[in-house]
A and B are shown apart, each in its own frame.
Chain A
Amino acid sequence: MRGKRQETNKSMQYEVGSRQWAVVGVFLFFLLVTGHWSLVTVSAVTIDEKYKPVFDELSDKFMCLCGCGSTVKTCPHEDCGFAIPLKKELIEKIQKGETREQIINYFVGKHGQQILSAPPKKGFNLTAWITPFAAIIVVGLLMKKIIDKWTTRQKTEDRSQKTEGVEDKYKKMLKKELEEFE
């Protein structure tokens, strides 16, 4: 199966004839002229393996502000005008030995709070983190209280029904005996 797949894929490789090259050339010229090619540059951000975990962690803490809605780490634009320079700057800072806090403060100072991919867990922003859990816990406790109230009430009703049952039994006996007596 794999061999067949490999064969198929290899057969997908193509040869471009001279006429086609001319067309491609015109097209490439069009791209160059309109500036489209400038979008495809080598955008690799090389980093020493030992710094990669810190780089991964920090680049996920910053939001790409190109409009992609992703973090700097996951921005899908390989030639992103925001994420790539920020990544390069970030590498420089990591290699210089700056601490996480220093780096974060630097980028917040440069771009404002909105650069952070999640609001910091302090001040007013703490409400962003706490509110969902607080809501679930409060509503959950309320639910438990209501259910407890229901079950207690039911137990009481059950007990009183049982008592009533006993009383009914004696009442019937008494009535029967009185009737017999009369």
Chain B
Amino acid sequence: MNEIGELCILLSLGISIYSAIVPIIGVKRGREEYIVSAENSIFVIAGLIVISSSILTYAFVNRDFSIEYVANYSNRDLPLFYTLSAFWAGQKGSLLFWSLLLSLFAVVVVIQNKNKNRDFMPYVISIISVTQCLFLVLMTFAERPFELIYPPEDGSGLNPMLQNPGMVFHPPTLYMGYVGFTIPYAFAMASLLTGHLGNVWIKTTRRWTIFSWFFLSMGNLFGAWWAYRVLGWGGYWAWDPVENASFMPWLTGTAYLHSVMIQERRDMLKVWNMVLIVLTFSLTIFGTFLTRSGVIQSVHSFGQGPVGYYFLVFLIIIILFSSYLIINNISILKSNNELDSIISRESSFLFNNLILVGAAFATFWGTMFPLISEAIKGEKVTVGPPFFNQVNIPIGLALLLLVGICPLIAWKKASISNFKRNFLIPFIVSIIGGIALMPIGVGHLMAWLSFTISIFVITTIVMEVYKGTRARMETTGEGFLKALITLIRRNKRRYGGYIIHIGVVLMYIGITGTSYNVEKEATLNKGEAMTIGDYKLIYRGLNLKEPVPTKAEAIAAIDVEKNGKNIVTALPRKDFYKTSEQPISRVYNLSGLKEDLYIILAGFPIPFEKDSPATFKVHVNPLVKWLWIGGLVIGVGTFIAMLPDWKGKR
């Protein structure tokens, strides 16, 4: 079977080279059949990669340890759920997974554009195929997923840290975001190559952009959720270089999502939009380079190897190729329209872009600074979480403020009355809210600012939706709920966007809660108690069990009392795997809207004795749940924004 898998990859590579070259020849010679042939080859590539991926999955399920990758990332005791997710747990499988997604997305693009954008399609197919070639070359020459070994009795197993639902969903969603941005990039380049620089490419890829942005957002969020539940340090974002690598394209992708609106509406910022999509796509490749090159130390990296340098070469090619095309078309790209006023929606979007790209630059700068310092001064420095927090918090607050201002400010030129109408009430409400929140602001200025601005943003959005609904009720005589639903259905993009903004504000609230985290560490004898915040934790004993032969679980029982009332028996535990040197903490998290009680069994003496003293690390993390709720709200908003246009009666 493995030979078939390998053959499929090899054939895909050959056909990808064909589909990268042939459509361009088709354009040069004016032969439509060449282009159709390249389009058909996209289906063949997808078919071959699906076969290859199915064979690898089959090998995992059947514990075929003659395949090195299967032996390295699974074993006989691994549950089916995690056996399936082991597909993308390592370098080789993740490359195949990336290739699979790209091939499937390419099929969708070909189907979508069967009867439209015919002038773009040769170039779109060619660019997607060149990207596909990169992954197939890697899988053919550097990282072969079907490499054989002498089969061991059992596999090495999946890293226990990856045996968590968060890690099952984190890589696929992140990759969907990364891969998805290939499509808008390919269309952008196609528009430059054809000289058709209008808004067609932007309208064609609008849903692809939202789709990619959404999955990139979810990928980051799943990663944060996994870190929170598994890593056991009480936080969810550590500004690790690899985390930064997925955050940067998210920031530039968000900027791009907003700036294309100005091009659609005012036929402006064409050069800037090109730059943003090139930057976003390049950053997805840069992130992959960081993860796989080992050039920067990270807990998430796939280790050192030549793979990263393939990505680096590809990245350089992308930047040179895209820059050449943009510069070559600069005179056509230049807009005839100009901004009418600095106080306008266009300007506010520009400043929103400035802040988003500024945040991406700050993150990039911090990530690369150790290398820069070493190259210039020969001195190793570390740029850790305190740097990123200090630099990005003010930038983040400015961005939050713009989330409230941008959507409501008038196009072209805002008047004083427009300002008053839209912002006076939110301003007053946020001032009242800010004053009410002053007691919690003492010593936490940034947190107080964040909450106050959040109130402002939420009020602007609620007011805007309310005004729209009222207007509809007055003109059509509909009831409030019907008017609201129709309003959203009539303008899904706009109101979907508002819902996404509410989700973003909720996430800000969740993140701001971090400022009030409390933590305590204590060693307790059986029956002893510790207090933290409103909680009293009484240690009831330590026990051991072995659910499967390869795993032992040390479980502590803790009665949790809140305000004198017993609310739950918490069972934090520590898992020991035969296949892993490190024991894994399984955090007990009592999560509520107000706060999380986060208990880690940190240690106990050896040799193990039932009910021996144990050490606990306990955190009370306020408002964390709002971060995850914000993610859900973003999901709802994106779904609405992506729905097809409704052509019903007004």
Interface membership of B33, Cβ < 8 A: no
**Residue numbers in B under 8 Å from A10 (CB-CB):** 569
- Mark contacts of A1-35 with chain B using CB atoms, 8 A cut-off: 1 yes-contact digit, 0 otherwise: 01001100110111010001001100110111000
* Complex: A143 Cα to B351 Cα, angstroms: 8
Cβ–Cβ contact A113 & B552, under 8 A = no
Contact with B along A99-141 (1 / 0, CB 8 A): 0000000000000111111110000110011011101100110
- Is A89 engaged at the interface, CB distance under 8 Å to the other chain? no
A159 at the interface (CB under 8 A from B): no
Contacting residues, chain B, for A147 (C-beta < 8 A): 339, 341-342, 347, 350
- Which residue of the partner chain B has the closest CB to A6? B568
Tell me, yes or no, whether B338 is within 8 Å of chain A by CB.
Answer: yes
Give the complex CA separation of A6 and B385 in angstroms. 37
CB proximity of A17 to chain B, nearest CB, Å? 10
Residue of A nearest to B298 (CB): A69
Name B338's contact: one of A20, A60, A143, A153 (CB within 8 Å): A153
How far, in angstroms, from A32 to B381 measured CA to CA in the complex?
Answer: 38
Q: How far is the CA of A140 from the CA of B354 in the complex (A)?
A: 7
Complex CA distance for A24 and B554, rounded to whole angstroms: 11
Q: Give every chain A residue within 8 A of B605 (Cβ-Cβ).
A: 41-42
A98 in contact (CB, < 8 A): no
> A67, B381: Cβ atoms under 8 Å?
no
Among B232, B386, B555, the one with the most A-chain Cβ atoms within 10 Å of its Cβ is: B386
Alpha-carbon gap, A2 to B566, bound state (A):
9
Q: How far, in angstroms, from A38 to B362 measured CA to CA in the complex?
A: 41
Contact A78 B602 (CB under 8 A): yes
Give B267 Cβ to nearest chain A Cβ, in Å: 14
For A154, what are the chain B residues with a Cβ–Cβ distance below 8 Å? 338, 340
Distance in angstroms between the alpha carbons of A70 and B382 in the assembled complex: 11
Contact A44 B615 (CB under 8 A): yes
Q: Are A119 and B615 within 8 A (Cβ)?
A: no
Q: CB-nearest residue of chain A relative to B243?
A: A69
Q: Are A119 and B373 within 8 A (Cβ)?
A: yes
A148 interfacial by beta-carbon distance below 8 Å: yes
User: What is the bound-complex CA distance between A9 and B566, given in angstroms?
Assistant: 13
Given contacts A12-B571, A41-B605, A44-B523, contact A116 B342 (CB under 8 A): no
Are A117 and B382 closer than 8 Å at their CB atoms? Answer: yes
The verdict on A76 contacting chain B, using a C-beta distance below 8 Å, is yes
Contacts of A166 in B (CB 8 A): none
Closest B residue to A135 by beta carbon equals: B361
Tell me, rounded to whole Å, the shortest Cβ–Cβ distance linking B446 to chain A: 15
| Alpha-carbon separation in the docked complex, A143 to B352 (Å) | 12
Q: Confirm or deny: A61 has a beta carbon within 8 angstroms of a beta carbon on chain B.
A: yes
Asked if A129 and B391 sit within 8 Å, CB to CB, the answer is yes
Minimum C-beta distance from B356 to chain A (A): 11
Query: Within the complex, what minimum Cβ distance (angstroms) separates B528 from chain A?
Result: 13
In chain B, positions 600-650 with a C-beta closer than 8 Å to chain A are 600, 602-608, 613-615, 617
Question: Is A70 in contact with B238, judged by CB distance below 8 angstroms?
Answer: yes
Interface hit among B108-116, B257-265, B576-584: B576-584
Question: Does B436 touch A at the CB level, under 8 Å?
Answer: no
Which one of B197-205, B469-477, B543-551 is at the A interface?
B543-551
Residue contact A31 to B576, C-beta cutoff 8 Å: yes
B387 touches A (CB below 8 Å): yes
Range class of the B interface residue count? 35 or more
Per DSSP, chain A at the interface is helix
Report the separation of the CA atoms of residues A181 and B523 in the bound assembly, to the nearest whole angstrom. Answer: 111
| B355 on the A face (CB < 8 A) | yes
CB distance from A181 to the nearest CB of B (A): 43
> A45: CB under 8 A from chain B?
yes
Question: A28 and B552 in contact (CB under 8 A), knowing A68-B299, A143-B351, A151-B340?
Answer: yes
Bound CA–CA A143/B376 (angstroms): 31
Distance in angstroms from A166 CB to nearest chain B CB is: 23
Q: Is A43 an interface residue (CB 8 A)?
A: yes
Select which of B355, B381, B568 is within 8 A of A116 by beta carbon.
Answer: B381
Q: Give Cα distance in the complex from A63 to B522, angstroms.
A: 23
| Pairwise interchain contact A14-B543, C-beta atoms closer than 8 A | yes
Q: Is the CB of B384 closer than 8 A to any CB of chain A?
A: yes
Indicate whether B521 reaches chain A with its CB closer than 8 angstroms: yes
Closest B residue to A63 by CB, please name it. Answer: B382
Q: Does B571 contact A74, Cβ atoms closer than 8 Å?
A: no
CB-based contact A71/B339 at 8 Å: no
Judged by a CB distance under 8 angstroms, whether A51 is at the interface is: no
Interface contact A118-B384, CB-CB below 8 Å: yes
Chain A residues with Cβ below 8 Å from B574 are: 40
Chain B residues within an 8 Å CB radius of A28: 544, 552, 607-608
Closest CB in chain B relative to A51 CB, distance in Å? 14
Pull 13 A–B residue pairs with CB atoms less than 8 Å apart, ordered by A: A24-B545, A27-B546, A27-B576, A42-B613, A42-B614, A46-B523, A77-B582, A118-B382, A125-B373, A131-B365, A132-B358, A136-B355, A147-B342
Nearest 5 CB-CB pairings of A with B: A132-B362, A117-B384, A150-B338, A118-B387, A136-B358
Given contacts A14-B545, A28-B544, 20 further A-B contacts (CB under 8 A): A6-B569, A9-B568, A16-B544, A28-B608, A40-B554, A40-B603, A42-B604, A43-B603, A44-B615, A60-B386, A63-B384, A69-B297, A76-B233, A78-B585, A118-B382, A119-B382, A147-B342, A151-B340, A151-B342, A154-B338
